[in-house]
Every structure is written in C-alpha cells, then in structure tokens.
C-alpha cells in the first residue's frame, strides 16, 4: 500500500481499488492511480512504483500496460534515456466512450445472432439474450443525446 497516507486517503485508495476491481481492472491498478494522485508529481518512474507500492515488477508492469491501454496513464521516454516515465493521461472521455460503444454494439450484434440461432423453446436463454439486446439497443439509441448533453458548457 502507499506509504505516508492519512486514514481518509487510505480509505480513498481502498474504495478506488475496489471500484476498479469491480470494473474488471485489478486492485493494483487502483493503487497505482491513487499513488499518482497523492504523489503530487507530474511524472513517476517504474522503479519508484515497485518500491513505494511494494508490489512485484511483473504486477506493476502488467497494470501499467493496462492503464496505458485504456488511457488512464501515458508512458514516455526522455531524450537520450532508456528509462520509461509515466504520468496521468489526459482522458478524452468522449473518444473513450465512443470506443466503448463500438464494443457494446458489437456485443449486442453477437447477442442478436444468438437470439436467431438459439431455440425458441428455451425461455431462459431467450429472456437472457433479448434482455441484453433490448438494453443495448436502448443504450445505443440514447448515447448520442448523452454525448450532446455532456458537450454542453456547464452553467
């Protein structure tokens, strides 16, 4: 865990870690993000994360790669150095959600094909598949309006 945090900060770290875990990321990803938040520095080095978080190099490496892939952090090298540095990513929520919606649309299409291919006699299967496709149809229909609302300037 992160060293030198007060009780409230430690509770925040635990809540963040649990929340990211529930979203399919590991708890270590949450601890890494929290370390960025509480370090009060713009950039961090790999070895510092390993030392400060007391987590294996493999775990830090895997979690950094995942966080980089989803845009939460950014990795870069300084000119003439082999060492990688990391900083919090400049999240473009609109682009991130549009990419997520493409995945949702693809999953919905697969589930619709499942409705076609499965037996109408199995009510549980049909209810499961139709429930997913119905919700995702609604979400995909409403998403443009949600984006429009999001892009409005705050009053």
* Share above pLDDT 70 across residues of the chain, in percent, rounded to a whole number: 99
Q: Is the dihedral of CA 65, 31, 94, 132 positive or negative?
A: positive
Burial of 28 from C-beta contacts in 10 A (0-12 / 13-18 / 19+):
buried
- Is 10 strand, coil or helix? helix
Angle at CA of residue 24, ends 20 and 30, nearest 5°: 25
Which CATH code, of 3.30.390.50, 1.10.10.10, 1.20.272.10, 3.20.20.70, is assigned to 7-88? 1.10.10.10
Residue 155 is predicted with a pLDDT of: 59
Q: Average pLDDT of 67-72?
A: 89
Q: Is the dihedral of CA 105, 108, 110, 112 positive or negative?
A: negative
Q: Which residues lie below 8 Å from residue 98, measured CB to CB, with a gap of 6+? A: 147
pLDDT of residue 91 exceeding 80: no
Judge if pTM exceeds 0.85.
no
Q: Which residues lie below 8 Å from residue 96, measured CB to CB, with a gap of 6+? A: 70, 71
Mean pLDDT, all residues of the chain: 90
Residue 154 corresponds to which tokens in the numbers above?
């705050």
| Higher-pLDDT residue of 141, 20 | 141
* Angle, in degrees to the nearest 10, between helices 7-22 and 27-39: 140
pLDDT tens per residue, range 11-52: 999 999 999 888 888 999 999 999 999 998 889 999 999 998
pLDDT of residue 59 exceeding 90: yes
Burial of 153 from C-beta contacts in 10 A (0-12 / 13-18 / 19+):
exposed
Residue 1 is predicted with a pLDDT of: 64
pLDDT of residue 3 exceeding 80: no
Residue 40 is predicted with a pLDDT of: 87
Cα gap 153→135, rounded to integer Å: 29
pLDDT of residue 62 exceeding 80: yes
* Share above pLDDT 90 across residues of the chain, in percent, rounded to a whole number: 62
């Amino acid at each position: 865990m992160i060293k030198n945090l007060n009780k409230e900060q430690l509770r925040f770290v635990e809540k963040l870690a649990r929340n990211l875990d529930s979203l399919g990321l590991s708890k270590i990803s949450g601890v890494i993000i929290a370390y960025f938040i509480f370090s009060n520095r713009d950039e961090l080095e790999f070895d510092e994360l390993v030392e400060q978080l007391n987590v294996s190099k493999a775990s830090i490496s895997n979690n950094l790669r995942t966080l980089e892939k989803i845009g939460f952090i950014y990795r870069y090298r300084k000119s003439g150095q082999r060492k990688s540095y990391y900083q919090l990513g400049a999240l473009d929520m609109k682009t991130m959600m549009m990419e997520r919606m493409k995945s949702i649309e693809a999953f919905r299409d697969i589930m619709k094909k499942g409705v076609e291919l499965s037996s109408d006699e199995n009510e549980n299967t049909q209810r499961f598949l139709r429930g997913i496709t119905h919700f995702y149809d609604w979400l995909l229909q409403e998403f443009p309006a949600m984006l429009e609302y999001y892009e409005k300037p705050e009053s």
